[in-house]
Chain A
């Protein structure tokens, strides 16, 4: 089945309601687009394998509901996430303004500090932009996030967003191996685990 995957990564897509989280996921996983995409109830989940530099990573992607009323369910989704895609709608300024809140929530519930964050400004196919690319970039820098503008409708930047995120995760020492290491630690085999972690670290150029 998927014996050749290097690791399974847990990714989370968060952001205000209606910014296109589910559309991004649908575009990425099934390469389709539904203009009538309905609001996500609770949470959605998809699995996709992605090859980066010859390494295959299995992505367990959690698509959360942006609506306020489902927020009480979210804390459990954050657990163990290694990457997060933070989405806003470039044509709706308030979705950009709310990013601070999302970062706050992320910080509150995430179980690790080195989680990799990717800021995605969605819907660039539309005309009436309210958030400038530079503003997004500036915000991403300020919070040390990756940044990309994308359109689930036109495919622009979608694949790239996921790939960059995964690449960054794989490059981050101790982020994806650490749980293997942790597992080994739990098994009591400290030396071997340490060795593998070291190997992983060295593989990054």
Chain B
């Protein structure tokens, strides 16, 4: 081991030694190099660089000087040149302005020249009656003036002078044109003093003359056309035509629509031109002309106008605004159409609407005629749009039909309601409304009805009377029956009509009844209170209406259109109102009668001291009057009120009377035997004659039944009878009728009442005392 370490150490030492010598030699080489380099550097610096530095510094100074000199020169140049530029610009601007001014003056002068030329041309044309040229020239002049106006700079006095000259010339032209127009289109009108009417219109004439034809030129532009064109160019045509249309409407077209006997005659004469004159046809007596008559008359007038007046096609300017090519007939059409179509609708079509649906089909011809009329007008170019008011109106005939129908129906209904009520007709239980036969609603319903019928038969062999649920026999106003018929007819119309129409008609029928409800009680108010007969009729009328309203809706429902068929079509809601109305009316009358009965009885001095003759006469008179009043009521209500109502009413009134009599007698404290006798006589009169006022039927022999039934209708009848018995009875008889509280006397009177009666009737004796003990 040790030998290896020494080896290593020995070798390393040897190595280091070799290395060092190498390094030192390298170092010495480097030092040599560095020495050379430093020497070189120093040489370069001091021999080459410094002299050149000195040179460049000198050059720097020289450059500075030159640049200074340049700056000075530059400033000098700048100030000098700019001054010169300003002067030049100003000079050019001036020159330009002058040029422009000159140009303007030249154009203005051009316009002025043009204006002058136009005016000259115009005057020439005007003298030659070349109105179209004249108008054109004037238009040119106007254009010139307008161009001049474009420059607002100067020459204002000149401009206004030009303008006024233009205006004067324009007026002049228009005046001439108007003059010519007047000569060409001559109206003969009725004087305004005359009352407007058929006769005044007979003088109306329109003359369209051909003034130009006399010149004998081969193809003369008709003067009228020139005039019109000139007017158009001057923008005055609209105004002229408007005036013309107004006169045409007022004096020719409207009278033709309104008076069927008026007719228009067209005459053409070489010298005078064409004349349209109104004259009268004598044979016409109808109140309104038919649409076709009106259409043909109007067409004749308009066609004549078209051929003689309106054929020229004008380029029209209206107050600077061009509305382009438009035929004169179109302008006239626009002006008159709205008014004349309204006039035709209101004066002619309105009256041609049929009154029932059967005529409705025939109305198609009127619609066709209206279409033709409009088509002709379109060919003449009076009309441009498609379907207008007129045709729309005719086509909506269904709607108008319904409206008209409804109006007619309501008017008729009102007339019926305000007519006299006392013309009556008899209604019997077998009376049936004349209901129309409508197709059966559907087979299903039928089957159902049959089954219910069978069930009924199975359940109960006894059937209800055929007359149960029928209105009892009574009298109603003829007018009300007619009213019901009116309602039925209107509903029948509704069944075959369009939905809109049916709805309108249906609600009109409802309105009829509503109207009855409101109008009749008010309109007849006084009479209903004054006359018991009328009150009874009104009662019946209301019940009659209520009775039929119950089923009226049901009868028609299935045949009416949608919302109605689903249950809206009903009158049942009105039934209680009508019943109440009838009841109230009759009750009011009952109260009047009641008050009168009591008033009559009040003159009887409470039936006391009848042994005095005056008292007896007064009481007897009162009783007679009561019977008489009842008898009269019984007569006026006979055959009018239903029997049951009659008996109830009469029974009630008789009951009022006897209740009053009973009360008065019961209040008497002392009744002498003579008093009792008189009282008995009076009461016996009532007992005997009271039932005789019950005569509900016209057949005298059938009334006995109701007279027997008086105890049923008069609540206090048996009470009254007991009282009458007591008035003439002896004590034993009274006790017997009391029968220990088991007799009829005990049913009608209390024990104390009977005791009081006994005390009043009998003197205080032992027998009376015994009798009194029996009344317990």
Inter-subunit contact A73/B712 (CB<8 Å):
yes
Q: Could you say which residues of chain B place their CB within 8 Å of the CB of A73?
A: 711-712
B627 at the interface (CB under 8 A from A): no
Query: B740 CB to closest chain A CB, in angstroms?
Result: 3
User: B interface, by DSSP: helix, strand, loop or mixed?
Assistant: helix
Query: A192 CB to closest chain B CB, in angstroms?
Result: 17
A43 at the interface (CB under 8 A from B): yes
Inter-subunit contact A8/B708 (CB<8 Å):
no
A1 with B709: in contact, given A8-B740, A58-B740 (CB under 8 Å)?
no
Query: B723 CB to closest chain A CB, in angstroms?
Result: 15
Q: Could you say which residues of chain A place their CB within 8 Å of the CB of B742?
A: 8-10, 60, 80
B residues 15-30 near A (Cβ < 8 Å) are none
Q: Could you say which residues of chain A place their CB within 8 Å of the CB of B741?
A: 8, 80
Q: Which of B705, B718, B739 contacts A42 (CB 8 A)?
A: B718
Q: Which of B709, B736, B747, B774 contacts A70 (CB 8 A)?
A: B709
Q: What mask results when residues 735 to 746 of chain B are scored 1 for a CB within 8 Å of chain A, else 0?
A: 111011111100
Q: Could you say which residues of chain B place their CB within 8 Å of the CB of A2?
A: 735
B770 at the interface (CB under 8 A from A): yes
Cα of A42 to Cα of B719 in the assembled complex, Å: 13
A42 with B711: in contact, given A1-B732, A76-B747 (CB under 8 Å)?
yes
Q: Which residue of B lies closest to A82 (CB)?
A: B742
A142 at the interface (CB under 8 A from B): no
Inter-subunit contact B744/A45 (CB<8 Å):
yes
Inter-subunit contact A60/B743 (CB<8 Å):
yes
Q: Which of B712, B735, B737 contacts A72 (CB 8 A)?
A: B712
A103 at the interface (CB under 8 A from B): no
Inter-subunit contact A1/B735 (CB<8 Å):
yes
Inter-subunit contact A8/B739 (CB<8 Å):
yes
Query: A145 CB to closest chain B CB, in angstroms?
Result: 22
Q: Could you say which residues of chain B place their CB within 8 Å of the CB of A72?
A: 712
A52 at the interface (CB under 8 A from B): no
- Across the A-B interface, how many residue pairs have beta carbons closer than 8 Å? 47
Q: Could you say which residues of chain A place their CB within 8 Å of the CB of B705?
A: 69
Query: B715 CB to closest chain A CB, in angstroms?
Result: 10
Query: A39 CB to closest chain B CB, in angstroms?
Result: 8
A residues 90-131 near B (Cβ < 8 Å) are none
Q: What mask results when residues 1 to 18 of chain A are scored 1 for a CB within 8 Å of chain B, else 0?
A: 110000111100000000
Inter-subunit contact A47/B739 (CB<8 Å):
yes
Q: Which residue of B lies closest to A3 (CB)?
A: B770
Cα of A79 to Cα of B746 in the assembled complex, Å: 12
Highest count of chain B CB atoms <10 Å: which of A60, A69, A70, A76: A60
Cα of A47 to Cα of B741 in the assembled complex, Å: 12
Q: Tell me how many residues of B have a C-beta within 8 Å of chain A.
A: 20
Q: Which residue of A lies closest to B747 (CB)?
A: A76
A51 at the interface (CB under 8 A from B): no
A160 at the interface (CB under 8 A from B): no
Q: Which residue of B lies closest to A44 (CB)?
A: B744
Inter-subunit contact A69/B740 (CB<8 Å):
no
A45 with B708: in contact, given A1-B770, A8-B742, A60-B743 (CB under 8 Å)?
no
Cα of A150 to Cα of B265 in the assembled complex, Å: 111
A41 at the interface (CB under 8 A from B): yes
Q: Could you say which residues of chain A place their CB within 8 Å of the CB of B709?
A: 69-70
Query: A96 CB to closest chain B CB, in angstroms?
Result: 20
Cα of A60 to Cα of B742 in the assembled complex, Å: 7
Query: A104 CB to closest chain B CB, in angstroms?
Result: 17
Query: B711 CB to closest chain A CB, in angstroms?
Result: 4
Q: Which residue of A lies closest to B705 (CB)?
A: A69
Cα of A1 to Cα of B734 in the assembled complex, Å: 12
Cα of A62 to Cα of B718 in the assembled complex, Å: 14
Query: A133 CB to closest chain B CB, in angstroms?
Result: 31
Q: Could you say which residues of chain B place their CB within 8 Å of the CB of A9?
A: 742
Query: A42 CB to closest chain B CB, in angstroms?
Result: 4
Inter-subunit contact A70/B711 (CB<8 Å):
yes
Cα of A2 to Cα of B705 in the assembled complex, Å: 40
Cα of A72 to Cα of B741 in the assembled complex, Å: 22
Query: B742 CB to closest chain A CB, in angstroms?
Result: 4
Q: What mask results when residues 55 to 99 of chain A are scored 1 for a CB within 8 Å of chain B, else 0?
A: 000101010000001101100100110000000000000000000
Inter-subunit contact A45/B770 (CB<8 Å):
no
A47 with B708: in contact, given A1-B770, A8-B742, A80-B742 (CB under 8 Å)?
no
Cα of A47 to Cα of B705 in the assembled complex, Å: 28
B residues 674-709 near A (Cβ < 8 Å) are 705, 708-709
Inter-subunit contact B712/A60 (CB<8 Å):
no
Inter-subunit contact B770/A60 (CB<8 Å):
no
Highest count of chain B CB atoms <10 Å: which of A42, A69, A70, A79: A42
Q: Could you say which residues of chain A place their CB within 8 Å of the CB of B744?
A: 43, 45, 62
Cα of A70 to Cα of B737 in the assembled complex, Å: 21
Cα of A10 to Cα of B747 in the assembled complex, Å: 12
Q: Could you say which residues of chain A place their CB within 8 Å of the CB of B771?
A: 1
Q: What mask results when residues 716 to 734 of chain B are scored 1 for a CB within 8 Å of chain A, else 0?
A: 0010000000000000100
Query: A118 CB to closest chain B CB, in angstroms?
Result: 18
Cα of A97 to Cα of B598 in the assembled complex, Å: 49
Q: Which residue of A lies closest to B732 (CB)?
A: A1
Q: Could you say which residues of chain B place their CB within 8 Å of the CB of A60?
A: 739-740, 742-743
Query: A84 CB to closest chain B CB, in angstroms?
Result: 13
Q: Could you say which residues of chain B place their CB within 8 Å of the CB of A41?
A: 708, 711
Inter-subunit contact B770/A58 (CB<8 Å):
no
Cα of A76 to Cα of B718 in the assembled complex, Å: 12
Query: B275 CB to closest chain A CB, in angstroms?
Result: 92
Query: B762 CB to closest chain A CB, in angstroms?
Result: 14
A residues 31-46 near B (Cβ < 8 Å) are 41-43, 45
B residues 396-439 near A (Cβ < 8 Å) are none
Highest count of chain A CB atoms <10 Å: which of B732, B736, B770: B736
Cα of A50 to Cα of B735 in the assembled complex, Å: 17
Q: Which residue of B lies closest to A81 (CB)?
A: B742
Cα of A69 to Cα of B737 in the assembled complex, Å: 25
Cα of A160 to Cα of B260 in the assembled complex, Å: 102
Inter-subunit contact B712/A45 (CB<8 Å):
no
Highest count of chain A CB atoms <10 Å: which of B705, B708, B770: B708
**16 pairs, CB–CB < 8 Å, chain A vs chain B:** A1-B735, A1-B771, A1-B774, A2-B735, A10-B742, A41-B711, A42-B711, A45-B744, A58-B739, A60-B739, A60-B742, A60-B743, A62-B744, A70-B711, A80-B741, A80-B742
B interface list, Cβ under 8 A from A? 705, 708-709, 711-712, 718, 732, 735-737, 739-744, 747, 770-771, 774
10 nearest A-B residue pairs (beta carbon): A8-B740, A60-B739, A10-B742, A47-B736, A60-B742, A42-B711, A45-B744, A60-B743, A41-B708, A8-B742
Q: 11 more A-B contacts (CB under 8 A) besides A1-B770, A47-B743, A70-B712?
A: A7-B740, A8-B740, A10-B742, A43-B744, A60-B740, A60-B743, A62-B744, A69-B709, A73-B712, A76-B747, A80-B741
